[in-house]
Amino acid sequence: MKLITKIIAGLVLTGLLGGCSGHKPATTTASTIAIKRQAQAERKMYYIPPPKLPGQWTVEDILQAYGANVTGKLNYYFTKAKVSYPPREVTFIALKQEKKLELWARDSGEFRFIRDYYILASSGVAGPKLRQGDKQVPEGIYRIEGLNPNSHYHLSMKINYPNEFDFSHAVQEGRADQGSDIFIHGKAASIGCLAMGDEAIEEIFVLTAQVGAENVKVVITPHDPRAYPLEADSKGLPEWTPELYSIISREIEALTPVVKSAKTGL
């Protein structure tokens, strides 16, 4: 009994000393509540996916992680171009010489120029890709074959190289290994792919997922044919290169009237 009495007395003494220690209990004020509410609202702006092992991310995880932020940024450009977001169709135009990737989109009307991105790294020279290991970025009109949320290059989008045009000419010439695995991805290093950096690939990846890969086209050209014509002026290029360049030019020049109005305000 005496032991219990001593313990109680000790606890009381400790409480008294704590009350005199100079540390005042936290008080709840209107400003404190406002700060807490603001912090909670800011945390809700970004979805932090639960930890996952490498290779377990899904496209939906990426949309939840970056979707709201990307939508907020792209809405500005789409509103300026008078195109609804997300659009119905998207065309990316990759200009190898200029190192730019143009974003075009449309809803119910014509394609309009939305914005462009710098290509941080690519490889090769002017001319189509012919075989595995030639380090060439392909040239032609492609589709998005798949979205990879677990890329070693942050995020990546695989294009359908070789497409029918590439494959048919390879068969005619007896080229068995045209190469594959060509991506648009993040980071700033690449061999045969288009490296866009992490921030840009987040926008491009999310936009493609929201629009649907089947509604996205990728045109890759040695340079901008709206500046000067595409010509197969190298002796090392295949004899069918002029045909390819004619196809690419027609695809891009179909957007030319919109280029003038979008970029000059006419």
Overall size of the chain counted in residues: 266
Reference 90, options 217, 192, 191, 187; nearest CA is 217
Q: Which two tokens stand for residue 236?
A: 């090392």
Separation of alpha carbons 78 and 82, rounded Å: 6
Separation of alpha carbons 204 and 229, rounded Å: 28
> How far out from the chain centre does Cα 192 lie?
18
At 141, which amino acid appears? I
Q: Supply the DSSP symbol for 213.
A: G
Interior angle at CA 13, CA 10 and CA 18, nearest 5: 125
Q: What share of the chain is helix, strand, coil (3-state, %, to 5)?
A: 40, 15, 45
> Which is catalytic among the residues 23, 169, 185, 223?
185
Interior angle at CA 260, CA 246 and CA 107, nearest 5: 85
Active site residue 154: no
> Which is catalytic among the residues 23, 169, 193, 223?
193
* H/E segment holding residue 34: helix 30-44
Active site residue 20: no
Contact 217, 148 (CB under 8 A): no
Q: Which residues are catalytic?
A: 185, 193
